[in-house]
Chains A and B, each alone.
Chain A
Amino acid sequence: MPSVVQRNIAPEDLAQVNDLWLLAQTLVAGQQLGLHRSPHSGVSVEFAQYRPYAQGDDPRFVDWRRYGRTDRLHIKEFHEETNMRCTILLDCSASMGYGTTALTKFRYAQILAASLAWLLTLQHDEVALAAYHERIETHIPFQRRGHQVRRLIAALEGLTPGGQTATGDALAWAGGVMASRGMVVLISDLLQPLPVVETQLRALRARRHDVLVFQIADIAEETFPFTSEVTLRDVEAPEERPADQVHIRDQYLANRAAHFDRIREVCLGHEIDFESLRTDRPLDVALQQFLHRRTHALLRTSKRALGGGGG
C-alpha cells in the first residue's frame, strides 16, 4: 500500500506558476510512486496464459495446483516485461478554454497531463502525447530517447484551446497508432454527444488497452450560477441561447447529470477508470486519489494473476 503525502496545493497557487515542468515536478514530488516495479526481476507480474511443460522449462513456474487437479504439468506464462506505453490524449477544443476560477479547464488539463507524463516517466514508462480538437493537433510519439518528457511538456506549453471537440475520433486514432497493449489517458471535458465516445472506449478496451478518463469541469458548469437573464454563447459553435436562472437551471443540471452518469456507467461497465476533476479543487489531491485507486486496482489484478490465475 503506497503511502501518500497530500500537499493540497491550491489551484490559485498553481495559476501563479507558468513553468509547466516545474508544476509537474512539484505535484509529483513528495508522492511516492503509486506503481511499484515488480519484485520479480525479469518477470512481469501480470499472468498471460498456461502452456504444457516442456523439457527445460523452469520448474519454478510450474503450476502445481493445476497439476494436482489435472495430473498434467503446465507452465504459467506472464506478460513480457516491457515498459508500459501510455498515450495521453488531451482535449484542446475551445470548450476546454472556459474557466471561471483561477485555472481554466485547459490549463488544469495541461498541468495534469504534464504531471502524469512526469510520473509515468519516473516509472520508466513510455509516454506519448496527442492533443486534439476536431483533429489531432499535436502528436509527440513514443521515443526511447532521453528528454522525452521535456519534449512532451514543451509541446503542452505550446498548445492553445480552440476548435470543436471530436473525442471519439481522437480515441479511434489512439487505438490505431498503439500497436500493442498500453494505456490511454483521456483528459477532456467530455462536452459532446456520447455515442461515438462510448463506441471508441469499448473498442480500446476490446484491444485490452488500459483506459483512464479524466473529466475536467468548471464550477460554473456544475452549478449554473447565473442569477439573471443572460444570453449564453457556445464557445465552440456559433450558437446563442437565452438562459434564465429560474426556469432553465434545473433542466440544465438534470441534463448534465444524465450525460455524465451515462459516461460513468459506460466506464464502469468496461473497467475504465473515470475521474471527475473540478478546476477549483487542488490538483495534487485529485491526482493522488486517482493513483491510490489505481494502485489498489492493479494490486488486485496482480494477486489474482499470481495466486489463482486460471484456477
Chain B
Amino acid sequence: MGLLMPLLLGGLALVGLPWFIHRVRRPSNNPTPFSSLMFLPKTVPPLRARKRIEHPWLMALRMLALVLLALAYARPYLLVRADAVPSATSKRQHVLLVDTSLSTTAGGQFEKTMEAAQACLAALGSDPVAIVTFNENAEVIAPLGAPDAASALARVVPTHGATDVLAGLRMAEEVLRLPSKPTVGEGREESIIHLVSDLQRTGLPDDATAFSLARSLSLKLIPVAPLPPGNTAVEAMVLEARAPSTLVARARLRNYGSERIDGTLEFWLNDALAASQPVSLQADGGVNVSLSAQSDLGRTARVEMRLAVADSMEEDNHRYAVFNPEPVRAIGVVIDPATDRSQPIPFLEAALAESQPVPWQWTPVEPAALAEVEAPVLVLPGPSTMTVDEAEKIVAYVDGGGGLLVVPSHAGFPEALNAGLLRPSGLEVSTAKFDAIDPSRYALLSWIDYDDPAFQAFRSAAYSDFSMLRFNNYYSLAVDPNAAIQVAARLEAPGETSPDPAMVTFKRGAGRVAVWAFPLEPDWTNITRTRRFVPLLHETVALLLPPLAPLREHIACEAISAPPALSVDGLRLRAPGDGEARPFALESKPGGGFIHGFYAWSSATGPEPEVVEAVNLRPKESDLGSLSAEEFLLRIGAASEGVVSGPNPANVPIVVHWEYGYPVLILLAVACLLESALAVFCSRPVAVEQRQP
C-alpha cells in the first residue's frame, strides 16, 4: 500500500488533540464541599492515581475521525501485482496506442517512444494487435490482427499536432469493440490497450475524469521518459497595418522552463529578415513583443516570427501569419453626364472620398453602363427621370446582390424606379411634403432607431444628437405596413402628429436597397452642411456592402479546405517545403497531419499564388510538463481491473492500483456521524433520582 500524497499524513500529529482535551477535562484539584462523606465508600482509590479519561469512546471516535481525515488527504492506494506479459495461451487482443504529437519530438523523445512501442509489440507475440497513433486526432494505421503491424509501426513519424489522449483512448476502445475479430478465439477474451506516451499534462482536458474506460478493457501504461524541462514558444501573433506602408507584428512569447532564457526575436517578411530584437524571457513567464517592417500594404505578405533560442523543441519557436490587404471596394455613383454636376453630386463625391479609414473608392457609373457594374454598391443620386430600361438594369443589379442607395432629386422621382423597384417591395416615393419651401418651416428627425445598422455608430451620447438637421421639404414615403421594410428614422413636420419615414431599407433578391426621403439640395435640407452627413452616408453605404470573407488560420493536424474565393478546377496547393504545387486533394494528411508554415493556393491559370494561409502549432503543445503515471490514471478516472502503470525506464509495463480515497471519506463520514451522536448522548443531563423522604 502506498500514499499518493504522503506529506499530508503529517495531519496525524493532530490525533493527540482529542486525548489532550479529554484529559484536560478531568476534574480539577479544587474539591467540592459536601456535608458529609460518611456515606461514601471508603475503598475508592485516589483520583490522581487513576488514569481515566472522560468519555473514552467519544475520544476514540474523534481520534479515529482525525486519522481518517489525514488518510483521505494522503490518498492511499494499494498495489496490485499483475502479470504484465500476456501468456501465449491467453485469449487477448491488444491495441498499441502510440503518441505522435509534437511534444514527442522534444529532446529525442520520439525515438524512445518508438523503441517502447516496438518492444511492446514484440512482447505481445501472436496476439492480435491493432496500432493506433494519436495526436489531436487518432488514426488506425494497422487494424486488429493485421499481419503487417510491425511495418506499419515502423512507418510512424511524429507530427505537428497537439496531444489529446482521450481521442486516442476512444479510438482504441472503438477498435476493440469491433464486432468481427477474426483472430479472437473461443471463450472470454481480454482486451488491453497499451498506451505509449510522454503523458504530457496538456494532453488531458480539465474534465478528463468524466471519461471512463470501458470496464472490459485494461489499460497498460508505458510512459516514455519524462519530457525535457524548459521550452519556449511564440504563442500567438497578430498583424496590424499602419498606413501608408508599415506592417506591425505583435507576438506573445512564453517560457515554460524554470530558468531565464535570452534570445532574439526575428521578424521575417516574405522570407526575408525584416527586423529583430533581443528578448529575455523570465522563468515560467511570458512577454509581449512588437516588431514592425515596411511593406506594401496593398499586397499579401507572409509574416513569420522566429524566436532564436536554444530550447527543447524548435518547432514552436516559429509562428506564421498572412497579411492580406483589405480589398478596396468600389462604390459606384451613377452620374448622368448630361446633368448638372454642381448640385448634390459633388457633396456625395466629397463625402464618399472622405479621408481614411474608408475602405472603398467611388467611381462614376454612367447609366448606359449599369448592366456592367461590378461595384458592390451603387449610389443613385437624384435622377428625376429614368427610363424603364435603366430601371430594369438597376433592379437586376439589386437582385444580383448589389447594394443601392437611392437619394431622390428635388425635381421629382422617376416613376420607372417606383414601378420597377420600389412598389413591388411595398414602398413608393410619392409627392413632396410641402408645395413650396418655406425657410421658416422645417421638419426634424424626431424618431431614430439606433439599433438600425445605419445608426448604431451614433448610439453614444456624443453623437446621437440629430436635432441640427432640418428638412424644409421632403418626399412622402408610402410604406406598406405588411412589407418587410425597416424604417431607420422619421421626420416630424410642424403641426403633424404622425412622423413620416425619412430613411428606409429593404431587401430585394440577393441585394439590399436604402432609400432616403430627402434630396440633398441645400434649400431642401441642411444635412450636407452638418457633421452628421458624412458618417451617416458612410454607415448607410457600409450596411449595403457585402461582408468580407474572414481570414483563416489553421492549426497543425486540422484539415485545410480550398478557399472559397478560388475555383476548385485546377486548384493547386503548395505546402511548406514542397518544390511543386500539388493538385488539390487533401483528404489524406501526410504523416498524420500538417506541418506549420505557409500554404499557398493558386489556380492553374495563374502562376502567382492567389491565397496564402498560415498553419500554426497549437500553443498548449509547447508546455512540456508531464504527468506521473499515477496522476495520469487518477485524472482519467481509470478504475477498471488490471489497470497498470509505473515508472518505465525499460518500457516494461508495471503495476498499480486501487485508490482508496473515496472509501476512506465514507468511513470518515460515518465516524463523524457516530461521534456527533455519541457526543449528544454523553452531554445529556443525568437523570436526578428524586428520593421520596
Contacts and interface: CB of A to CB of B under 8 A. Distances in A.
B26 A218 contact: no
A259 interface: yes
B685 interface: yes
A298 interface: no
A276 B30 CA distance: 32
A240 B691 contact: no
A232 B34 contact: yes
A244 interface: yes
Interface in A199-249: 217-218, 220-223, 225-237, 239-245, 247-248
Contact of A229 (B37, B42, B52, B685): B52
B31 A230 contact: yes
A193 B36 CA distance: 11
**Tier of interface size on chain B:** 20 to 34
B40 A230 contact: no
Contact of A235 (B27, B35, B41, B686): B35
A251 B41 contact: yes
Given A225-B688, A228-B54, A248 B32 contact: no
Contacts of B691: 222-223, 253, 257
Contacts of B551: none
B35 A231 contact: no
Contact of B32 (A217, A221, A233, A237): A233
Given A222-B691, A228-B54, A232-B40, A105 B29 contact: no
Contacts of A248: 40-41, 44
B31 A276 contact: no
Contacts of A95: 35-36
Given A223-B691, A231-B29, A233-B32, A252 B40 contact: yes
B44 A244 contact: yes
B587 interface: no
Contact of A278 (B40, B44, B52, B693): B693
A41 B693 CA distance: 40
A244 B42 CA distance: 13
Nearest to B30: A231
Contacts of A243: 40, 44
A31 B45 CA distance: 52
Contacts of B37: 232, 234, 237, 239, 241
Given A248-B44, A252-B40, A233 B26 contact: no
Given A105-B35, A232-B31, A252-B40, A227 B686 contact: yes
B31 A231 contact: yes
Given A217-B693, A222-B693, A241-B44, A231 B27 contact: yes
B33 interface: yes
A277 B693 CA distance: 8
B38 interface: yes
Nearest to A98: B35
A126 interface: no
A276 B39 CA distance: 18
Interface in B39-98: 39-42, 44-47, 52, 54
B contact patch SS: loop
Nearest to B46: A242
B689 A253 contact: yes
Contact of A226 (B32, B38, B42): B32
Given A98-B33, A223-B689, A241-B44, A230 B39 contact: no
Nearest to B689: A223
A268 B44 CA distance: 35
Interface in A127-150: none
A103 to B, nearest CB: 14
A228 B35 contact: no
A191 interface: yes
B497 interface: no
B457 to A, nearest CB: 82
A91 to B, nearest CB: 11
Name which of A225, A231, A278 has the most chain B CB atoms within 10 A of its CB: A231
Contact of B39 (A189, A245, A256): A256
Contacts of B52: 229
Contacts of A25: none
A255 interface: yes
A276 B36 contact: no
Contacts of B54: 228-229
B467 interface: no
Which of B27, B40, B46 has the most CB atoms of chain A within a 10 A radius of its CB? B40
B372 to A, nearest CB: 108
B690 interface: yes
A114 B27 CA distance: 41
Given A242-B44, A242-B47, A252-B39, A231 B693 contact: no
B232 to A, nearest CB: 69
Contacts of A223: 688-691
A191 B40 CA distance: 12
A233 B28 CA distance: 13
Nearest to B44: A242
A40 B40 CA distance: 54
A211 B47 CA distance: 43
Contact of B36 (A225, A228, A234, A257): A234
Interface in B666-693: 685-686, 688-691, 693
A191 B34 contact: no
A264 to B, nearest CB: 10
A71 to B, nearest CB: 54
Contacts of B27: 228-231
Nearest to B45: A242
Contacts of A241: 37, 40, 42, 44
A252 B689 CA distance: 13
B34 A234 contact: yes
Given A225-B686, A225-B688, A229-B27, A236 B41 contact: no
Contacts of A255: 38-41
A267 B690 CA distance: 24
A245 B44 CA distance: 12
Nearest to A235: B33
Nearest to B685: A227
Contact of B26 (A105, A229, A278): A229
Given A218-B35, A226-B32, A247-B44, 18 more contacts: A189-B36, A221-B36, A222-B691, A222-B693, A229-B27, A231-B31, A232-B31, A232-B37, A235-B35, A236-B36, A241-B42, A241-B44, A242-B44, A251-B40, A253-B689, A255-B40, A256-B39, A278-B693
| Nearest 9 interchain pairs by C-beta | A98-B35, A233-B31, A255-B39, A242-B47, A276-B693, A191-B36, A231-B31, A232-B34, A95-B35
18 contacts: A98-B34, A189-B36, A220-B34, A222-B691, A222-B693, A223-B688, A223-B690, A226-B32, A228-B27, A228-B54, A229-B27, A233-B33, A235-B36, A236-B36, A241-B42, A242-B47, A256-B39, A278-B693
Interface of B: 26-27, 29-42, 44-47, 52, 54, 685-686, 688-691, 693
Interface of A: 95, 98, 105, 189, 191-193, 217-218, 220-223, 225-237, 239-245, 247-248, 251-253, 255-257, 259, 276-278
